[in-house]
Amino acid sequence: MISTSELRKGITIELEGELYHVLDYQHLKLGRGSAQVRIKLRHMRAGHTIERTFQAGEKFVRAQLDHRTMQYLYSDGGLYYFMDVDSFEQFTLGASLLGDALSYIKEGMSLDVAIYGDEPVGVELPLAVELRVNETGPGFKGNTATAGNKPAILETGITVQVPVFVNTGDVIKVDTRDGSYLERVS
């Protein structure tokens, strides 16, 4: 059990029999009365977000998640198949569990998968991934009026703003937190 004073971003708790990931946390003290805590939560299985307010001092059950390194194998329809690199056991995750991670994963990539009991409940991406540029416009010499950026479509389908010197076929590093260009790898 953890109290409201021990809540932080990134912690997973059980609330009303469901798993929630803490996205944001605010401690509120409004005039008279006891302090309150406003928490923004993301449902681990369904993916939707909710905002709840609790009295300071309330206690929550902290979910014990097991993290395993798994390799992304392939997708079939709306299902995504992963293999545990230690036991070679295969797991299937739906698109709702992967959320924004779908924009950054490619076949053969290793990820940390959060498991609650025997059920996978989400993935944790690395801070940066390397992706190939499938399509981008040409960069013109002296074209610096637009700060030297142009859109590029990557191999996973995501569009990222890249510098003008990046060409089709280049491999670039992308920040998975905000989808921004970091550097050209090759």
pLDDT tens sequence across 51-62: 999 888 889 898
pTM for this predicted structure: 0.72
Profile the chain (186 residues) by mean pLDDT over runs of 10 residues. Answer: 84 88 86 86 83 89 89 90 91 82 90 86 87 86 66 93 91 91 91
Helix count (H) and strand count (E) of the chain? 1, 16
CA dihedral for 162, 165, 171, 172, sign (positive or negative): negative
For 32-170, list the strands marked E by DSSP.
36-43, 49-55, 59-62, 66-76, 79-84, 90-94, 110-116, 119-124, 128-136, 149-154, 159-163
How many C-beta neighbours within 10 Å does residue 75 have?
15
For the chain, list the domains and their CATH numbers.
Answer: 2-62 (2.30.30.30), 66-124 (2.40.50.140), 128-184 (2.40.50.140)
